[in-house]
Structure 1
Amino acid sequence: MVSSEQEVLSPTQTFPLKQMLTTKRINTVLSDFYPTFTLYMAYPATHTVARLGNNVTANDTWHEPVFEFHRLSRPPMSLMPALQAENFYTLALTDPDSMNVGGTKSEVCHWIVSNLTNMELAPEYHPFELDDKVDDYPPTPIRTFTPQVLVPYLAPENVTDSHRLVFVLLEGNSSMANNVTVPKERKDWGYGERGHGVQNWAWENGLHVNDDEMGED
C-alpha cells in the first residue's frame, strides 16, 4: 500500500513542518506533535494511495479505504516512549474545508474506527529475525481489542474546490477502550461551533495524535 513517492520518516528526522504549514493543517486542524507512527492509507478500488499533501478526486475516494500503521523504529537512547502493550488506537478521517450554506466552513467527521490493536506487539509478529533480542518483544501475549466502527465511512462530496482530507491516528490507554464516545453529528464533530473538530473530540476521549493528510480536487 506504500507508494514509492511517499516520504517515510525515521525518528532522527525532523517533523515535516514545512509541508504541514504549506497545507495549513497546523493550528487549523491539529496542534503540532512529534510523529511516532507511519500511517499507510489506500483505496484499493481505484489504486489510490494517500500521501502527505497529494491530490485525489472524489471518484478516487468513493469506497472505504484500507490501512496499516507501523511504529517508527526506535534507536538507542531515543526520546520516543516505548511501545505500550495496553494501548489501543483509533483512526479518524476529517474534512476541515466543508462548506456551509452562506459560505462558511465546518470541520466534518467522515469516518471513525476505534479499538484497533498495534499488532507489532503480538508475539507472533516477527518482521525480521529476532536472533537473541528477545527482550525487544513483550514476554506475554498482548491484550487485543475488537475493532469498532463508531462512524461509518462517508465518501467526500464531488465539489469544485479543493478540500483537505486528514487521516488521524489516535492512541489511548486501554482504560478508555470500548468507551470512546461517538460525535453527536458529523458537522463540527457535534460541537455546533466553528473551529471545533477532531482535536477537541480526541482531547475529550483522552486520545493522542499521529496523522496523515491528502488533498481532494
Structure 2
Amino acid sequence: MASDSLLLTTTEDQYNDVTVGTIKCTAPIPFGGQGEWLFLPATKKFDLSRGSEQKMVFDCDEDKRNHTGFMIDPGTSVLIVVDMQNYFIHPIYRDHAAGIAAIEPILKVIERSRSEGIQIAWLNWGITEHDMKTMAPAVQRGFSNTLGWHVGLGAQLPEGQGRCLFKRTWNADLYEPFQAVAQPGDLFFDKTRMSGLWSTEEPLHEYLRASGKQTLLFAGVNTDQCLFGTMSDAYSYGWDCVLLDDCTGTMTGRGAQELTEYQVSTNMGFVTSSRAFCEAQIVRTFNYYTHMEPRMCKLCDQIINDFLPSLTLSVTWPKEHAKLGNTIKPKYLQKQPAISLHDETAHDGLATTPDLRYIVTLTDPDAPSRDNPEWSEMCHWIAANISISQKTFSILPLPEFGLTGHDSAKYGSLDDVVEYKPPGPPPKTGKHRYVFLVFAPKNGTTEPLHLRAPKDRKHWGTGKERGGVRDWAEENQLVPVAANFIYSKNKKQ
C-alpha cells in the first residue's frame, strides 16, 4: 500500500540546546486510513481526489497556509451555500455588510461550479410546528432577541413575511440574487439547528452518504455559527472541508471570521478564495492501477513493492513510445529512448524542487523466458541525472500517452550507470515484459548520487533467481516514484 512507499529520513541539528528536526521525502505522504489524502512533496500540494483522473488544482500562499495548494475531484464535490436567506441578508432585518459583500463572489463560484459539474446545494433554516415542539431550549434561546424586539423562531413577522424561518415563508426564501441563479438541478436542504449535519437523519447527511460525495465547499453566513457548525460536523463524520473565505461573512466581530478561518485551515480542512476557485486548473492525470491489466499489477508486486506513483513517466523511441502495456517490435527499440518525467499536479509545468534528480531503470523479469526465468531479472539499463520536465502535456486519452521526441529529454543527457541494452527476446520465448521504473533518493537530497552498478546484468548481480531491481534500489537507498512498461517478442515463435 501507499505507506510501504513512504520512507523518511530525519536529520537533527543542535543549536542552543534546542533540537531542530527536518523531514525530507520524495514519495507521497498518506493521511488517513480508507480514502486517504496524499501530500506530494514535489509540489507541496495535498491530493484529496483519491485517484480520480480529473483534478481541480487550487493554488495557495505557502507562507500563509504552510502548503502550496490542494486538488479535488469535481465529480465528488458539492458546493454548499448556507443561509443566504432573506431573514439573514435582507436590509429590512439587519445591516449584514459582510453577507452582502459575499454575494458577488458566491455567484462567480456558482457559475464555475456548474461548468465543472460540481453539485450546488442550498442549506437553509426551514422549521415546522413539529420542530418547534421538539427543539432544544438552547436553539430557541439563540434567536430570542435577534432583532431586539423578542422575535424568536416561529414568531409571526409583519407584512406577510411569514413565521420566523418557517418553511415556505418569504423570510426563509433565498435572497433575491440567489433566487435568480437557482436551477432545477440544484438541491435544497432544510435544517433545524446551526448544523445541517448534526444527525445522520438530516436530509443533507443522508444525501451525502448515498451519493458518495466527498469534498464539501462551503459558502454563506454566518461564518462562525451555522457555517462553522455544519463544517465541524462534516469534519467529524469524515468529509473533506473547504472554506471559501470571501464567500462567507459574519456579524459577530471580535475576530470571529479570522478565528474560524484559522481553525479550518489548521485543523479541519482547507481555506481558499473565490478567485483561486475560479482560476483553479483542471488537469487530467493517469491512474496507473486503473489502466494496468491485472497481470501487470501482479508483475509489479514481483518486481517492486507496491507504491503510489507521484510522477508520470514517458518513454519515447524514434518511432514508438511506451503506453503502459503496448507491444513494440524489437527493431524499434534499438536506440536508447528519450525519458521525460512530468508532475501533472504542477499545472504551470514548474517543479517545486527543480534540483532533485531521478534515476530510471529497465528490467526484464522474463529472461530468458517467462516459463524459464533462470536469468531473471535481467538489467537492461540504469541512468541517472533525470529532472522533471518543464513542459506540460495531457496524458489522456490512453492512445496518446507519451511525448514526442521534441518534448522529451534529449538523447545523451543522462548519466549511464549501466549502458542501455536494447530488448532482444530470444526466439520462441513468447512476449517479454520490459518494465521501466523511476526512483528518487530516500532522503530527498539534491547532491550528486554515488550509485553502485550491479556486478552483472543477470539477476542484477544478486546471484539469485528473481533477484532484481528491488534489491538494487534498496541497496542504493532509493524509492520508486513512477513506472511504465511494454511488451516485446521475437518474430520467431
Q: Do 1:176 and 1:205's aligned partners in 2 also have CA atoms closer than 8 Å?
A: no
Q: Secondary structure at the match of 2:473?
A: helix
* 1:201 aligned counterpart, secondary structure: helix
CA distance in 2, matches of 1:10, 1:36: 15
1:188 to 459, 466, 470: 459
Which structure is higher in RCO with an 8 Å CA cutoff and minimum separation 6?
1
TM-score scaled by length of structure 2? 0.33
Q: Which structure has more strand as a fraction of its residues?
A: 1
Partner of 1:170: 439
Residues of 1 paired with 2:360 and 2:326: CA distance?
19
- 5+ residue gaps, structure 2, are 1-52, 56-72, 74-285, 394-412
| Other structure's SS at 2:336 match | coil
| Pair 1:152 & 2:419 matched | yes
Equivalent position of 1:111 in the other structure: 381
CA contact (8 A) 2:425 2:432 kept: no
2:295 pairs with 1:22: yes
SS at match of 2:424: coil
Maintained 8 Å contact 1:10/1:72: no
**Residue deviations 1:59-109 (CA, integer Å, cap 9, x gap):** 12111111111012169xxxxxx9434532001111111128x93431011
CA distance in 1, matches of 2:479, 2:461: 19
Once residues 114 and 190 of structure 1 are traced to their aligned partners in structure 2, the CA distance between those partners, rounded to angstroms, is 19
Q: How far apart in 2 are the matches of 1:15 and 1:162?
A: 21
**Alignment partners' CA distance in 2, 1:25 and 1:104:** 13
Q: 2:281 aligns to what?
A: none
Q: Quick one: which of 16, 35, 43 aligns to 2:317?
A: 43
The range that moved more, 84-93 or 205-214, is 84-93
Cα distance, 1:50 vs structure 2: 0.8
Secondary structure in 2 aligned to 1:214?
A: strand
Range 169-178 or range 84-93, more displaced: 169-178
1:57 to 316, 329, 332: 329
Letter in 2 for 1:22: R
Distance 1:104 1:94 in 2: 13
Runs of 4+ that moved beyond 2 A: 9-15, 20-24, 82-87, 102-105, 115-120, 173-178
Deviation at 1:199, TM superposition (A): 1.2
CA contact under 8 A between 2:358 and 2:386: conserved in structure 1?
yes
Q: Going by fraction, where is helix more abundant, 1 or 2? A: 2
In the alignment, is residue 69 of structure 1 matched against residue 338 of structure 2? no
Question: How many Å separate the matches in 1 of 2:476 and 2:385?
Answer: 13
Shift of 1:211: 0.9
Instruction: Encode CA deviations 1:88-147: one digit per residue, 9 max, x unaligned.
Output: 2001111111128x9343101101111223354xxxx7x69xxxxxxxxxxxxxxxxx84
Number of residue pairs aligned between Structure 1 and Structure 2: 179
| Greater mean alpha carbon deviation, residues 189-198 or residues 17-26 | 17-26
Which blocks of at least 5 consecutive residues in structure 1 are unaligned? 1-8, 76-81, 129-145
Instruction: Give the drift of 1:14.
Output: 4.9
Q: 1:158 to 1:99 in 2, by over 3 A?
A: closer
User: Per the alignment, do residues 171 and 25 of structure 1 end up closer, same or farther by CA in structure 2, a change over 3 Å counting?
Assistant: same
User: Normalising by structure 1, what TM-score?
Assistant: 0.71
Distance 2:289 2:438 in 1: 17
Q: Percent same amino acid at aligned positions?
A: 28
Residues in 2 aligned to 1:31 and 1:20: alpha-carbon distance in whole angstroms: 17
Q: Alignment partner for residue 97 of structure 1, among 363, 366, 386?
A: 366
